[in-house]
Amino acid sequence: MKNLIKNLYLKYKEIINYLIFGVLTTIVNLVTKYLLLFTIFDASNALELQITIIISWIVAVLFAYITNKKFVFESTTQNKLKEFVSFIIARLSTLFLEMLIMWFFITLLKLNSDLYVIIFTIISQIGVVVGNYIFSKLFVFKNK
């Protein structure tokens, strides 16, 4: 049984590690976002909501780049600047997806209670995680 688990892990190491660090990145993003929304910023204020999303995104992206580079895709590229810029560009596209989802439901439809903020944040994070893996695998960490 132990060998089976080890073999499955080795076979699917990249995906398993991506899911583990994706969950951790999502936690970093959510904790940052909720700390800001429930202390400093107000989700019903459209500008403050978007500022909160951007700040939490920056913190999460820095965490994600380090963990994805080292533990998920095990990148050994010599051109670290190009890789980092590609990572940022890929993550910007999913940031805009998250901002669009949050703007539509929280700002436009005025579903801005704490519960709706949590629900639509989780929904947007599902799209973000899937998009981030695809972009990272196909465009950023391709040296494997």
Q: What is the DSSP letter of 62?
A: H
CA distance 59 to 73: 20
Which is nearest to 20 in space by CA: 67, 75, 69, 86? 67
For residue 143, what pLDDT is reported?
64
Instruction: Identify the segments of the chain with pLDDT beneath 70.
Output: 143-144
Q: What is residue 77's three-state secondary structure?
A: coil
For residue 85, what pLDDT is reported?
95
CA distance 7 to 4: 5
For residue 60, what pLDDT is reported?
93
**Token couple for 66:** 């380090």
Distances from the Cα of 27 to the Cαs of 5, 22, 24, 64, 135, in angstroms?
26, 8, 5, 11, 20
If you average pLDDT over every residue of the chain, what do you get? 90
